[in-house]
Structure 1
Amino acid sequence: MRKSLFLLVGVCVLAYVAGCNSKTSKTLPILGSRDPITKVVDGKTITDTLYHSIPDFQLLNQDSVLITNELFSKGVYIANFFFTHCPSICPTMQRNLLKVYEKYKGDERVKFLSHSIDFRHDSPSVLKSYAEKLGVTNDQWQFVTGSKAAVYGLSDSYMVYTKEDSNIPGGYDHSGYLLLIDSNRHIRGAYDGTNDEQIQLLLDELAILLKEYE
């Protein structure tokens, strides 16, 4: 619990910094931890930086197809965590993300990845129905499920909070952040999916990130 709350607070701070930097720079920062690594190149010792990145993953999508991180390796993607019967922030978060999807629909450089944290109820068929009702009409936006260990472990890598909690409506607690991920699986931005200003910031910074690939 304390670890997840610490990660959530960290994302809030980093998202604020990213927002500030985007106004003064044409590149986005890489969020998360970074470690110095030393290597020898042509007889010279060089210190480089190892940035935090999303690990390899393998999850089942809304079409009952097993997908991996390789699906997202040729562009950027926006990730989040939700569940289909969420009575609180999910409807607003997903409708806002739909606005970004509609703007970039058909653009192969941009993909979307929504992880269900309800590993009991959100089967592929449930996710498929949810995606159709939301208005997703192509495979640019993937809705995925997996074991509790797989999905909740990934949420730590994305630095967001997820937890089962029978004391709250819906039975699950989670943050509403949308994470902007580059082709190297580095987190380049974090945005409150329920806030209109943050969605605009996401759109602005997504455009900035895409310029890195021109």
Structure 2
Amino acid sequence: MQPIRRIIWICLMGGLVGCTLSAEKLPVLGEPQTVKKLVDGKEVDELVYPTIPDFSFTNQDGKAVTQKEVEGKIYIADFFFVTCPTICPIMKKNMLEVYKAYKDSPDVRIISHTIDPEHDTPAVLKQYAQDIGVTGDTWQFVTGDRDKIYEIGERHYLVTAQADSTAPGGYIHSGAFVLVDKEKHIRGMYDGTTEEGTKKLINDVRTLLAEYE
């Protein structure tokens, strides 16, 4: 198990390594770095947790989606492709439950990244969104440079997202839903292929929103 994913696993199991945890707040996931900081004239160590970097993709309406889209909001990210013959239909059915729960909230967004940008053009994503009943700007389906999508998925959202000629449909990706806070920290990872994981995400979104009240 890779070190960062091991840390996340420990956090999710209720440990204290690589995360912050309290009774009222969700953990902050990822491997922190220690930086020096002056407090009242004294140098102290402070843990700094990784953040999602700036990005630029294109959504189902052909519009650019950048960090500005989620500025001051929390959001859920996942990875899929339209022609996926395995877990994607289940994931999108479950994400629809998240969407229905928060589609009227101005503080929540969903970003689904295609890992097959050659096929999944904005027009294809638009039709896909319409077919599953998504309207408005709460749920963004994005495409873009393939390498950048894979990089942000594997390096920053800490999920599997890559081409694999041996996999059904030619791509492999995790079924994770990733919850990100307003400061761009990962605050939860959920099994998007299960009802249990989906319900926990819906509840944790509520918990995270309460941190900002």
Q: TM-score, normalised by structure 2?
A: 0.91
Q: Given that residues 11 and 160 in structure 1 are in contact (C-alpha distance below 8 angstroms), is that contact kept between their aligned partners in structure 2?
A: no
Structure 2 distance, partners of 1:101, 1:54, is 22
Equivalences, count: 208
Q: Which residue of 1 aligns with 2:103?
A: 105
Q: Which residue of 2 aligns with 1:212?
A: 211
Structure 2 distance, partners of 1:161, 1:190, is 13
* 1:207 to partner: Cα distance: 1.0
Write the mapping of 1:1-214 to structure 2, written as runs, cut at 5 A: 11-17=8-14, 25-156=23-154, 157-214=156-213
- Which blocks of at least 5 consecutive residues in structure 2 are unaligned? none
Q: Secondary structure at the match of 1:152?
A: helix
Identity %: 43
- Which blocks of at least 5 consecutive residues in structure 1 are unaligned? none
* 1:41 to partner: Cα distance: 4.2
Structure 2 distance, partners of 1:44, 1:10, is 30
Structure 2 distance, partners of 1:9, 1:63, is 38
Structure 1 distance, partners of 2:142, 2:11, is 26
Q: Given that residues 175 and 192 in structure 2 are in contact (C-alpha distance below 8 angstroms), is that contact kept between their aligned partners in structure 1?
A: yes
Structure with higher RCO (Cα < 8 A, 6+ apart): 1
Q: Given that residues 15 and 191 in structure 1 are in contact (C-alpha distance below 8 angstroms), is that contact kept between their aligned partners in structure 2?
A: no
Structure 1 distance, partners of 2:140, 2:158, is 20
* 1:212 to partner: Cα distance: 0.6
- Which amino acid letter does the alignment assign opposite residue 69 of structure 1? Q
- Which amino acid letter does the alignment assign opposite residue 197 of structure 1? E
The CA RMSD over aligned residues, in Å, is 2.1
* 1:40 to partner: Cα distance: 2.4
The alpha-carbon distance between structure 1 residues 130 and 15, as it changes in their structure 2 partners (threshold 3 A), is farther
Q: Given that residues 4 and 30 in structure 2 are in contact (C-alpha distance below 8 angstroms), is that contact kept between their aligned partners in structure 1?
A: no
Structure 1 distance, partners of 2:68, 2:6, is 29
